[in-house]
Amino acid sequence: MRIGIFPNCKKKDSKKILDKVIAFLTERHSDIFIPLNMAKLFGYEIFATDNILKTNIDVGLSIGGDGTLLGVCRLLAPHNIPVCGVNIGNLGFLADIEVSELTNKLQKILTGNYKIEQRLMLAGYLKKDNALKLAGYAVNDIVLTSTGVARMIGLELELDSYKVADYRADGLIVSTATGSTAYSLSAGGPIINPKVKVLLVTPICPHTFYVRPMIINETEQINITVKNTSQQVSLTFDGQDICPIGPDEQVMICKAPFMAKIIKFDDKNYYKILLNKLIRSDTNADNQ
């Protein structure tokens, strides 16, 4: 099997886990590929590649938290490559391998003893003078906010070209069901099972009582117009990639033309994971 490994360079335990992963895989004669900058940082130049998309890997393995996995998904999803995550972060809703079960789950990957969940992704575009320009893709969410002083911005929301709302808020979150447990949850949005193919539109601190989060069909097109503001606004993709919105540019968000393929194992139950992670989150907050 050809495996691409993506360790998080900022996690203190990444090197230790990467050592274990490489030792396990080399003993089983797997082909290993690591992006050049990461390979140099961790001392594994022997596995370095300057273009991992040309190596024909079978699986991408992230080492970090959910954020690391999201970045790898955005990279590999357009090429139909499944991704699995080793969780050394805090919560880890998506990264399915805990450190304590590392060798067991790696063996399951090598023997094909896993399932692949296809997760809806989002595509964000900027529209000006009837021309569309791709701004980016997201697994969890695309967030529109101001980038300067914390002031509300005017927003006009259209769903399939029908005007639904005209309000002032701190911003707007468009998320997939996978992303319902991310930023949207903090903003008052519902929890949605990621197997449900819907989109979620959640306003951030709206200055209007009637505006509430909306669950819409996955096929609907979301158009957002920023009104009555001199502030710089931007789109953020999965909390990682940022794209500024220029003057007179509208935002169009819709389902991406491909899905994220995330490796899962039969001994994992979504609701059990959800409960455990949310309880852990509350416990961590109480201890801080």
**Residues designated catalytic:** 66
> Strands, DSSP E only, in 50-130?
59-64, 83-87, 97-98, 115-119, 122-128
Residue 129 · residue 47 · CB < 8 Å: no
What are residue 144's DSSP bridge partners?
A: 172, 235
Query: Which phi and psi (to 5°) does residue 20 adopt?
Result: -65, -40
**HSE (side-chain half, CA atoms, 13 Å) at 117:** 23
- For 261, half-sphere exposure in the C-beta direction (CA atoms, 13 angstrom radius) is 16
Place of tokens 């979620």: 200
- 256, 123 in Cβ contact below 8 A? yes
Strand partners, 262: 83, 117
Which contiguous run of DSSP H or E holds residue 284? helix 270-287
The C-alpha atoms of residue 243 and residue 227 are separated, in whole angstroms, by 18
The CA distance from 106 to 21, in Å, is 8
Q: Judge contact between 203 and 166, C-beta under 8 A.
A: no
**Whether the Cβ atoms of residue 223 and residue 187 lie closer than 8 Å to each other:** no
